[in-house]
Structure 1
């Protein structure tokens, strides 16, 4: 018979950390532990690629995941994830995820992870911090999908705290944050919020030449089923996208990336 007085079992939690250091001539150092892995596939053309992977299959209550990449002076590279990250139902503490990226002087990093899927009851706290040296630049992508849309899922409970910050020479030049909770979910269909969208993405380029790409980026915002807008504060280009389904959103992101960067898309992406 079930004993209601028995203590609850201690559930196993995943923890992982992966850190890649690259120089102009390739890999300098690689450290990885737990569920976090990093791979460097052979690339015939385009930027060298770093592919991060969470082998635990997703994030649940109390999990901890850390990805980091350091590019030395004059190094250019692309970093991505092998597959979509999944945040599952969590009854206890939120899962913790951190991305730390550092780009040396006159270097460049494309941080283009695949989407994050939030399941019903997910609890996730994530922080992405990019440190740029003088003369360095970056292109950042973040995509969030509320439930598996093909399965008709719509989260009813959710806790998300997601923050992205870029510093250049120690000064904050870009800061973007999003918070979702149970109280906010019923209001997301309002026009001032998501307007019925269940997939959203932000692209941000931080570089002196970024505002010059505003007109081409706006011209590329033509995917049916996707609402997008672009702005160009000094030294930045910021594009925000909303869609009811993630596939049109993915196609729109692909089209924008071909405008914003000359190199091929990550090999692990499904196009």
Structure 2
């Protein structure tokens, strides 16, 4: 009976073939310019598929751009294209509505691909402050971020990765991650920061040369004229949060400041980041969608 069922399935082309799985596609683009009086305003907006962008009404002098993936997460084969462009002397903050989630993918499936492009024209400033990316067991994610700065432009960017859900007691053993950030100033490479994780690196993650037990970590990069002056305030902002479960280091040189923060849980990391980012933003509050 089982053989007959298999033969019938083969005849209809159902069995022993790779099913065509539904995949998410999305593209969102936001263009901002400095209008009369120097106030930044929307100049261009495109959104399609699962990628959305909106600008909530806020009382701050600079607009907030909130990007959203309506698919609710990423899995193998998904594609997202996101871009934010600031014109000369424009100022804005961009973030994501919630944490992004990279779910389990089929073993031989293509990874989920996210391409992010940020362009900051001369004299402009963009704070790119997405919420964390949570990696699930068996996830596969290829994310590439390119930031192009004009003369005297400034970028503040924060990228956070979390391995699994600590509240569920998860400990990841399988994933594929390639996360690459590139920052260029007037065409010259300023920062190249690649991260690669796979099964073998997870097995060695507790070693001193690996994550040393951390399950959540963040890289903050502040680039632009005079950002070296923020070194001491940045270290002071992180100091009250340092302990045996949260480690951090901050350095600054030649128009860039880099902070790396690693923690045994996502919540203390988020609190430390809130203090650091608020300091680097000159006391300005974090985007409203952040929950601290």
Per-residue displacement from partner, 1:54-104 (whole Å, max 9, x unpaired)? 000000010001110000111000000000000011111100001100011
Contact 1:80 / 1:114 at 8 angstroms: preserved in 2?
yes
Alpha-carbon distance, 1:208 to partner: 2.0
Give the aligned partner of residue 39 of structure 1.
Answer: 54
- Normalised by the length of structure 2, the TM-score is 0.90
Aligned residue among 192, 208, 217 for 1:200? 217
Listed as ranges, the matches of 1:113-132 within 5 Å are 113-132=130-149
Q: Distance in 1 between matches of 2:190 and 2:152?
A: 13
Structure 2 match to 1:188: 205
Deviations 1:222-249 (A, max 9, x none): 2143100001121110000000100000
Give runs of ≥4 in structure 1 deviating > 2 Å.
1-5
Q: Determine which of 1, 7, 19 is the counterpart of 1:9.
A: 19
Counterpart among 230, 235, 239 of residue 250 in structure 2: 230
For the aligned residue pairs, the C-alpha RMSD in angstroms reads 1.2
Asked if residue 269 in structure 1 is aligned to residue 290 in structure 2, the reply is: yes
Mind listing any 5+ residue stretches in structure 2 that lack a counterpart? 36-40
Secondary structure of the structure 1 residue equivalent to 2:200: coil
Which structure shows the higher helix fraction?
A: 2
Q: TM-score, normalised by structure 1?
A: 0.97
Report if the CA contact (8 A) 2:153-2:225 is conserved: no
Q: Which runs of 5+ in 1 are unaligned?
A: none
Q: 1:251 aligns with which of 237, 260, 271?
A: 271
CA distance in 1, matches of 2:150, 2:117: 14
Counterparts of 1:104 and 1:158 in 2: how far apart (Å)?
37
Return the match for 1:63 from 78, 97, 106.
78
Quick one: distance in 1 between partners of 2:256 and 2:60? 27
Q: CA deviation at 1:46?
A: 4.3
Tell me the number of residue pairs that the alignment of Structure 1 and Structure 2 aligns: 271
